[in-house]
Structure 1
Amino acid sequence: MTHSEQSDEDVKDVVQRYWNGRADAYDDDGISGVHDAEQREAWLSVLRTWTGEPSRRVLDLGCGTGTVSLLLAELGHDVTGVDLSPRMLERARAKAREADRSIEFRTGDAEAVAVPDNAYDVVTARHLIWTLPNPSNALREWRRVVRPGGRIVLVEGYWDFPQPWEEYREIHDDLPLYHGRPPEALVDFVADHGLEEIEHESLTEPVLWGEEPEQDLYIVGIDVPE
């Protein structure tokens, strides 16, 4: 089967299997977990600035093991986390119980969010959009579920892998944003979907990632029109 012949379901099955397999060790990666108080405080500061004053209804898409969901809950937001990987969500629920945080975690597809229109004040997604076969569909969905005057917050990057990951070799051509994008290019992509109030900021401070990042990492805030 060539890349062009694969259905979205086939692509998402590969993505789901890959992240299920990463779940147990995912937080060990400095770029994925939070490992000390300094790193946690740095992320709390970033998220506080970009998501606004609590308590807001926040939908954390591609939540993985719940790293960002728990930080948002710590800030006082009412958080729901959604991920395609059941194994990731098992880890997220365990971490929420350990931290005594009340967070709802659901299995779901970021391109077809099973919630009503205008249900949330904020949608967040960290390192998600590059994994999606239809990022344009995703943006339309995220705009749909955020109330007018709300916000979409994306933590993204530009990594431009020299070779596709082995596990992604069969599907990387089906992922339009697989290599990430420089911030200006992602802003242009978002603006092409009718969202024009967009700002971005670099997130390359080592304290955020537990190491000196090798990629161009940044945050994007998108204001949904009233």
Structure 2
Amino acid sequence: MSLQEYYEDSYNMERGRGASDLLHEVTTYSKGLFNLVTESKDRFLPNLDWNGLKVLETGAGRGGVGLLLARLGADVTLVDFSPTALDQAKNIFALEGFEVKTVVGDVTHPDLELNQKYDLIVDSHLLHCLTEDPDRASYYRLITDHLAPNGIFVAETMVHRKKLFIPDGFMFDERNVLWQMFGKWTPVRRILDSLDLERELNEAHFNIVYFYYYGQYGFVPHRSFMDIPAEILPAAVRMVLQNKVS
């Protein structure tokens, strides 16, 4: 089973759940990232109003962050490779009277059509799910191609720490890729060292305007890690990027 098939199956299993139940779940889960996004916008785009702000949420799933931003007046587009997740997102948005734009597609494919630029692009915990260097490079190109002048890319991603616990059913290789057994070993997370991540972003020609390592924060890669102490889980980096001015 591929990672894409795994996520699609997961969303399909919850087709019977009501949109109101999913609404509470996605907004609760998304509040931490939402707070980072609003603080970043207020700091780095202070002259732009939320009303009508062009926002893209990548790896959106059911669009929890996007919904919270729509409540502020933002014009939100969701992109995800799961049509089931985006269908559920439309139902959730409709509960509050929003008609959200959705794009079914893989952000690592160069033929993904978005047809506009965005003031704010939010990575909804997608970056660490991209385990291969070419896929990550394609994703970065998508971001740089679709950021408006002075626009910002906001992300929170898991990073490596010296002590990292790996439970049964998972393995961690020398490329900092976490693998999970789905009948066969499947790469599920790329957990770079924070210095390697910073180097990667510079090579992708981003201007790093904020980059902070949260060593006290434990990032849970999968529910199998839920009961593991924070100090032996992946740490987190929160970052804000812009395109470099040529």
- Taking structure 1 as the reference length, the TM-score comes to 0.73
- Contact 1:148/1:225 (8 A) holds in 2: no
Matches of residues 94-105 of structure 1 in structure 2 within 5 Å? Answer: 94-105=91-102
Alignment-derived partner of residue 167 in structure 1: 182
Measured on the aligned residues, the alpha-carbon RMSD in Å equals 3.3
Secondary structure of the 2:57 match is strand
1:119 to 117, 120, 128: 117
Residues 143, 179 of structure 1: alpha-carbon distance in 2 compared, 3 angstrom cutoff: same
Alignment-derived partner of residue 191 in structure 2: 180
The count of aligned residue pairs is 200
Matching of residue 35 in structure 1 with residue 35 in structure 2:
no
* CA deviation after TM superposition for structure 1 residue 79, in Å: 0.7
Alignment-derived partner of residue 234 in structure 2: 215
Give the structure with the larger helix fraction.
1
Residues 181, 71 of structure 1: alpha-carbon distance in 2 compared, 3 angstrom cutoff: farther
Q: Which runs of 5+ in 1 are unaligned?
A: 1-12
- Contact 1:201/1:218 (8 A) holds in 2: yes
- Contact 2:205/2:244 (8 A) holds in 1: no
Q: Per-residue displacement from partner, 1:132-191 (whole Å, max 9, x unpaired)?
A: 34101110111011122111111211366732222395442xx7xx33224333222111
1:193 to 192, 201, 204: 204
Q: Per-residue displacement from partner, 1:90-122 (whole Å, max 9, x unpaired)?
A: 221121112322321221111233123x62112
Identical-residue share of aligned pairs (%):
19
Alignment-derived partner of residue 128 in structure 1: 126
2:105, 2:183 → 1: CA distance? 20
Matches of residues 19-34 of structure 1 in structure 2 within 5 Å? Answer: 19-23=7-11, 24=13, 33-34=26-27
Give the structure with the larger strand fraction.
2
Q: Per-residue displacement from partner, 1:59-90 (whole Å, max 9, x unpaired)?
A: 11110111111122123211100000111112
Matching of residue 15 in structure 1 with residue 3 in structure 2:
yes
Relative contact order (C-alpha < 8 Å, sep 6+): which is higher?
A: 1
Q: Which runs of 5+ in 2 are unaligned?
A: 43-48, 171-178, 219-225
Matches of residues 2-151 of structure 1 in structure 2 within 5 Å? Answer: 14-23=2-11, 24=13, 33-35=26-28, 40=31, 43-52=33-42, 53-54=49-50, 55-111=52-108, 112=110, 113-116=112-115, 119-132=117-130, 133=132, 134-151=135-152
Q: What letter matches 1:145 in structure 2? A: H
